[in-house]
Amino acid sequence: MFAFLSPGTELRRFKKGTLPKIAIAVLLFIPLIYGALYLWAFWAPNDEIKNLPVALVNEDVGAVKDGEHFSAGDDVTTELLDGKDLDWHKTDAADAAAGVSSGEYYFSVTIPKNFSESAISAATDAPTQAVVQVNYNDSNSFLASTMGQQAMVQLRDTVALNVGDQTVNTLLVGLHDAGGGIRDAADGATTLADGLDTAKAGAGDLVVGLGTLADGTTSLQDGAEKLDTGAHSLADGLSTLNGGASTLSGKSGELASGANQLATGAGSLNSGTSQVSGGVATLSSSVTDLIAAINAAPAGTPASAFVPTLQKLQAGVGQVAAGASQTDAGAAQLAAVAAQLAAGADQLSAGAGQVAAGVDSAHSGAVTLADGTSTLSNGTDSLVDGSQALLDGGTKLESGAGQLVDGSHTLADALSEGGDEIPNDSSSMIDEKSTIISNPIALEQNWDNKSSSFGEGFAPFFLALATFVGALITWLILRALPTRALATSASGIRTVMTGFLPAMAIGLGQVIIMVLVLVYGIGLEPTYWLGMSAFIYLTTLAFLAMQQMFIILLGSAAGRVVSLVLLMMQLSSSGGTYPVETTPSFFQALHPYMPASWVVTGLRELITGGIDYRLWVSVALLLILLVGSLAISALSASKQRMWTIKRLHPELTI
C-alpha cells in the first residue's frame, strides 16, 4: 500500500497526550471561529443601534400659538425618548459636549432655543426651517458617526412629522379662520346665485316683453308707415280740395256778383218789359181808341181831331221805346252777366273737379289712415303688452339686482375677511414657504475630529489587525525563545530579549514601511502622524511580546493557535468597525479586555485628532501588556533551563 494511504502516518502522533487532541479539536473549529464568530458579532448591527449612547439636549424655550404656549422641543424629546431608537441620554449642553469629546456619547443631538418658533414660522412672513443640531466625533467611532447620520435622517423624518403637524396645524388654523369668511362668502354667493336666478327669470320675462314689444313696434312701424302714407295722400287731397275750394270760393263770389248783376239786369229787363208791356197796352189802347175814333169820326174829320189819340198813341210808343231800350239794356247786361256766369260756371266746374279729386284723394288717404290707425292700434296694444312684460321683468330684475347687491356685499365682506386671514404672499415667498412646509426640519451636522474618508475612518481597525498579523508572521520565522540562550547562565529576561530584539528590529521596519505607504502612497492624512507612527510601533512591540509569551508558555504550536483565536476575538469585539454596543453581549463583555480595543481607541485620536485621556490610557495599557508579557516570558524562560523528556519530545510541534 502507498505510504500516503497509511492511516497511521501523520495522525498517529496526535494520539498521545491531551494537547494534541485539543489541537485537533481547535483545527476543526478554526473555520467556525473565523467564519461564524465574525458573522455572529456583526449579524444585524443596524438592529442594535438602539444601544448606541447618544446625548439629547433640549434647549427649546417654546413659542406662543393662538394665545397659548407650546413647546415642540418637549414633544420631540418625549417622542424620541419613548421611541428608544437610540440609547438617548437627556442632558444639558455642557455634559453633552464633554461626553461626545470623551467618548461617553458617540454623538449629541441638540434642539435649539428657537425650535418651536421655527416650527410655526411657515405661517409668518419669515419662514425658517426648524433646525436639529447634531455633533459627531469620529475619534469615538467612524462607523458610529455613519450609523448616526443614517439614524438622523430617520430622526429628521420623525421630527418632521411632528413639526409638520405644527406647521400644517398653524396653516390649517389660518385656513379655518379664512374658511369662516369663505363660508360667509359661500352664503353671499348663494344669495348672489338666488339673485341671479331671479334676475335670470326677470331677464327671461324681459326678453319675452322685448319680443312682444318688438312685434308691437313692428306693427306700430307698419301702421305708422301706412298712417304716414295716408296722411300724405290726405294732405295731397286736402291740398287739392283746398285749391278747388279756393277757386270755387272765388268764382262763387264772382258768380254771386254776376247773379246780383243778373238780378239787376233781370230787374231792369223786367222793368223795361213792364214798360214795354205798359207801352204796348197803352199803344194797343191808343190804337184801339184811334181806330175807334177813326171809325167813329165822320169822314172828313180833321186829323187834329185825332191828335189826343195820336198823342196817347205816341206816349205809348215812347213808353214802349223806353221800355224796349231799358229791355235792351237789361238784355245786354244779362248777356254780359250770362257770359260771366258761364265763365264762372266753367271755373266752378274746374274747381268742383279739383274738389272731387281732392275728396277722392282725401278718401283714399283717410282709408289708408284708417288702416294705419288700426295697425297702429294693434301695435299700441302689443306695445302695451310688451311694456307690461317689461315692467314685470324689470320688477323681477330689480328684485334680483337687490339680491345681487346684498349677495355681492356679503361676498365682498366675507372674501375680504377671509383674504385678511390668508397671506397675500409673493411668488418668492410662496416658494420659500413651500420649501419649508415640504422640508420643515434641517439637520445642522457638525464634526469634531472628522475622518476625511471612509478609509481613514477604518484605518485604526486595519492597523491594529496589521500589527497583530505582522507579529504572528514574525514569530513564524523567528524563534520566540532561542535554545542557545537557554544553555547559558543568562537571566530569563536576557534570554527572552535575545529572541525579542530581532523581532523589535523587524517590527520597526514593518512600521516604517507601512506608515510611509499609508501617508505618501495611499494618502492617509493623520493629524499626528509621528505620534501615530510611535503608537503603531508600541502596538507592534506589545503584540510581539504577547505572542512571544504565548509561545514560551504554551509551546510553539499551542501558542500560535491561541494567538489565532485571540485575533478572531479581537476582530469581533474591538469596536474597530461597528460600535461594540451593536454586537452581542458576549463581545461587549470581551471588549474592555481585548488589546486591539485600546489600539483602535488610540489610533482614532491620533489619526482624526481630539487627543484626550483615552490615548494615554491606551498607551499605558499597551506598555503594561508589553512589560507584563516580557516579565511573564522571562519568568517562564528561567524555569525552562531544565530540560525534560516532555520538552525534548513535546506532545505538539510545528
108: enclosing H helix or E strand:
strand 107-111
Cβ neighbours, 10 Å, residue 92:
12
The answer to whether the beta carbons of residues 147 and 579 sit under 8 Å apart is: yes
152: enclosing H helix or E strand:
helix 142-296
Percent share of the chain, pLDDT over 90 = 26
Give the 3-state secondary structure of residue 9: coil
30-34, 153-157, 610-614: lowest mean pLDDT where? Answer: 30-34
d(CA 292, CA 650): 241
Q: 223-278, pLDDT tens digit by residue? A: 556 656 655 665 565 566 566 556 655 655 665 565 566 556 656 656 655 665 66
Q: Which residue has the higher pLDDT, 40 or 540?
A: 540
Q: What are the C-alpha distances in Å from 279 to residues 272, 284, 313, 331? A: 10, 8, 9, 18
Alpha helix (H) residue ranges in 422-447: 427-438
Q: 339-350, pLDDT tens digit by residue? A: 665 565 566 556
State the chain's mean pLDDT as an integer: 75
Q: 604-648, pLDDT tens digit by residue? A: 999 998 899 999 999 999 999 999 999 999 998 877 755 555 555
d(CA 59, CA 376): 95
**What strands lie across the sheet with 441-448, from one edge to the other?**
87-90, 53-58, 107-111, 130-137, 441-448
Query: Of 27-36, 227-236, 498-507, which one has max mean pLDDT?
Result: 498-507
Percent share of the chain, pLDDT over 70 = 49
**What is the average per-residue pLDDT within 100-120?**
90
d(CA 512, CA 467): 12
pTM for the complete prediction? 0.60
d(CA 207, CA 204): 5
d(CA 109, CA 99): 12
Give the 3-state secondary structure of residue 111: strand
The answer to whether the beta carbons of residues 471 and 446 sit under 8 Å apart is: no
Non-local CB neighbours of 253 within 8 Å, separated by 6+ positions = none
**What is the average per-residue pLDDT within 81-109?**
92
- For residue 235, the number of C-alpha atoms closer than 13 Å in the C-beta half-sphere is 6
d(CA 638, CA 649): 19
pLDDT at 2: 46
d(CA 442, CA 132): 6
The answer to whether the beta carbons of residues 440 and 164 sit under 8 Å apart is: yes
Of the pLDDT bands very low, low, confident and very high (cuts 50, 70, 90), residue 65 is: confident
1: exposed, middle or buried (Cβ count in 10 Å: 0-12, 13-18, 19+): exposed
The answer to whether the beta carbons of residues 169 and 437 sit under 8 Å apart is: no
Bridge partners, residue 441, by sequence: 130
d(CA 548, CA 498): 12
DSSP string, 127-147: --PEEEEEEEETTT-HHHHHH
Q: What are the C-alpha distances in Å from 357 to residues 213, 350, 354, 446? A: 40, 10, 5, 122
pLDDT of 317 strictly over 80: no
Report the chain's terminal Cα–Cα distance, integer Å: 28
Task: Cell 438622523: give the residue.
Answer: 152
Q: Which amino acid is at 604?
A: R
d(CA 315, CA 309): 10
d(CA 621, CA 567): 18
d(CA 502, CA 541): 11
pLDDT at 507: 95
